[in-house]
A = this chain, B = another copy of it.
Amino acid sequence: MNKVKQAPLTTTKAQALDLGRHYLQTLGYNAFSFQLIADELGIKKASLHYHFASKEDLGLALIADYEAAYIESVEKMKDLSALQKLTRMTRIFCRMSQDQKKLCPLGVLAVDFNTVPAKMQKRLLDFHKIQQNWLITTLKQGLKEKSLKKDLDLNFTADLILAAIQGGLLMARVRGESATLENMLEKLIKDIKR
């Protein structure tokens, strides 16, 4: 008797965000449009502006969305060993690449950085710092667990992993294959194991 109205499985706004992320990851920020998303949803572009007042709005929502997903998946790993965490984390990006050679939204927006509103630039930097800090913390955990080489340079290693992921995603797209990325990240972790 209560809850007569069944809520839609996914709202238009949520679907729009999904499509937005898809097009951001495949086409880049400047090559995807409200029109593209609206067409895919079967609604009018103006209706999309009801949910996202501006492209900046949508862009900020996409970053927030991706960040929330990242934080959630990191949260899920909190009881794992450092090595397990690192492996799972890299697997996220391998799957991303396997899925139509998509790129990390952060990497895409880094390329489009200079064409994006200042507020988005700030969010990007904040998010990047979160990723960096998580990696450093996880590497520290690995040192404590004695699963990583004890003379590891934490900052360097964290940056190298982040760069390898972003660069590897680019290379996977150009080559049209994700295997190299998977091998690279796998070996990279093996190299820091003691």
Q: How far is the CB of A152 from the nearest CB of chain B, in Å?
A: 11
Instruction: Find out whether the CB atom of A28 lies under 8 angstroms from the CB atom of B112.
Output: yes
Known: A170-B107, A183-B156. A115 touches B162 (CB 8 A): no
Instruction: Find out whether the CB atom of B111 lies under 8 angstroms from the CB atom of A28.
Output: yes
A108 neighbours in B (Cβ, 8 Å): 111
Q: Pick from A28, A163, A171 the residue with the most CB of B within 10 Å.
A: A163
Q: How far is the CB of A139 from the nearest CB of chain B, in Å?
A: 15
A157 to B87 CA separation, bound complex (whole angstroms): 19
A31 interface hit (Cβ, 8 Å): yes
Contact of A159 among B26, B160, B162, B168 (CB under 8 A): B168
A124 to B121 CA separation, bound complex (whole angstroms): 28
Q: How far is the CB of A122 from the nearest CB of chain B, in Å?
A: 10
Q: How far is the CB of A19 from the nearest CB of chain B, in Å?
A: 15
| Overall SS of chain A's interface | helix
Give the contacts of A41-96 with B (CB-CB under 8 A). Answer: none
A171 neighbours in B (Cβ, 8 Å): 110, 128, 159, 162-163, 166
A164 neighbours in B (Cβ, 8 Å): 160, 163-164, 167
Instruction: Find out whether the CB atom of A184 lies under 8 angstroms from the CB atom of B170.
Output: no
A180 interface hit (Cβ, 8 Å): yes
The residue on B at minimum CB distance from A121 is B174
Question: B-contacting residues of A (Cβ < 8 Å)?
Answer: 26-28, 30-31, 103, 106-108, 110-115, 121, 124-125, 128, 153, 156, 159-160, 162-168, 170-171, 173-176, 180, 183-184, 187-188
